[in-house]
Every structure is written in C-alpha cells, then in structure tokens.
Structure 1
Amino acid sequence: MKYFLSGLIAIGLSIAAMPSFAADARNVTVVNETGYAIKFLGFNAPDDGLDEWDNELEKVLQNQASTYVEFDEDDEGCVWNIRVDWQNYDEAVLWKNVNLCKMTALRLRYDPGTKTTSFLAE
C-alpha cells in the first residue's frame, strides 16, 4: 500500500507540472512583406462564408512588421480563409483554404504591378 500511495503522488506531481494546455496548432505569426501597411487582417472558416470577419489587428501592421494570431477552443478546423485590407489601397486580398496547422509563420506578399498575391508558409 505504501508503494501504491507513493506512485499516485508521483503521478499527481508529474501531471501538475505539465502545462495546462499546448499551443494551438493554428496559431501563426503573420509577417507583412506586401510593401503596404495592412489595416485589416481577418481569418474565417470556409463554412462561414465571406461576409463574417473579425480584425485580428489592434493597430496598423506596417510593411516588414509581424503579428501573432492566436486561435481559441471555439475555433474549429485547420483550414481558414485570410483577408487583408491595405491602409492606403482600395483593393482587398483574399487567400482561400489555407491550412494553418501546417505552418508556424505566414509571410504575406503582394505584387502591385501584376496584382498577384502570394504567401510563403514556414
């Protein structure tokens, strides 16, 4: 009985020492490499349609700056749409069906000459 109780105490201590939660696999650092300041950065699930967006930025994200986006337990799935609105440019950019679980950083890129958008996942 003495060994059983010691074992339970050891298990309890090891569980208590573990972090209460791991980082969400969808959390991502977004790096602005577009050449423009970004005033809106939104994520939504593909099933939400393209009308429901929340701005993840507290302030304008300048070119070459980054921000960390955290997801919570209420958010479901790995695949998300991403929308960017520029501070001084009228067109928005939309990336559809991006699997955030396969990356830790997302480098946003934009070519204004060809109006080509892209991202580099890390």
Structure 2
Amino acid sequence: MKLIFSALIVLGLSFATGNAIAADSRNVSVVNETGYAIKFLGFNGPDDGLDEWDNELEKTLNNQDTAYVEFDEDDEGCVWNVKVDWANYNESVLWKNVNLCKFNVLRLRYDSSTKTTSFLAE
C-alpha cells in the first residue's frame, strides 16, 4: 500500500512540474487600473511594425478587470510592444520594447493630474 501511495505522489508531482515547465514565461495577466474601459489590448514584436496588431480581448476590459494573455510557441522573444485602445475615446496608448519575461502581472494605470498612462510590472 505504501508503494502505491508513493507512486501516486511521484506521479502527481511530475504532472505539477510538467505544467509549470510548460507555461510560457511571457504569459501575463493584464489588470486595468486606469479608471476607464479598454476595448483593445494588443501585443506585437518590435520587428512587426506598428500597424500589425491582434486584439487579445474577447470583450471590453472594464476598470479593475483582468485579462490573461497567453503566447504561442510560434511567438518569439521576450520583448514586445503593447497597445491599448480606450472604449469611449478615439486614442491609443503604446509602450515599446516591454520585456514580458521579467514579470507575470502588468497593471495599467492612469494619472489624471499629469494625463499620463503607465504600467506597473510585477
């Protein structure tokens, strides 16, 4: 019985380790802390140009909501451009050369006194 129990523990640990290894280090949770709704969230590589974007959102990302972005094996590199379009405004925010391999959470923020949008990486 101890042998079966030990085997189950080892099997469980191998599955847990396999899933942790399989997670892409660029996958990121994006938290909207701007006070405004976001209708578009895009990532592209620095060599892709600034005209090629795919929206990672299935629906509007409201204030205090989180979107989880997963990258594919075909995506290369840690450094990406990040673009946000507001739901009720005809403006975009662009951050260039963000190293997604250095954090798991990207908190988007807006400072109304300076009218600047920033992010905090965790």
Instruction: Calculate the TM-score normalised by the size of structure 1.
Output: 0.82
- Uncovered stretches (5+) of structure 1, i.e. residues with no partner: 1-12
Instruction: Calculate the TM-score normalised by the size of structure 2.
Output: 0.82
> Percent identity, aligned pairs only?
77
4+ runs deviating over 6 angstroms? none
CA distance in 2, matches of 1:90, 1:110: 16
Deviations 1:69-121 (A, max 9, x none): 00010000000000000000121000111000000000001224423121000
The amino acid that maps onto 1:39 is: K
- Uncovered stretches (5+) of structure 2, i.e. residues with no partner: 1-9
Q: Which has the higher helix share?
A: 2
- Equivalent residue pairs, number: 108
2:59 counterpart SS class: coil
2:101 counterpart SS class: helix
1:102 maps to what in 2? 102
1:26 maps to what in 2? 26
Deviations 1:35-75 (A, max 9, x none): 10000000000000100000000000000000100001000
CA distance in 1, matches of 2:108, 2:78: 18
CA distance in 1, matches of 2:66, 2:108: 10
RMSD (Å) for aligned C-alpha atoms: 1.7
User: Highest CA radius of gyration, 1 or 2?
Assistant: 1
2:93 maps to what in 1? 93
Structure 2 residue 95 is matched with structure 1 residue 119: no
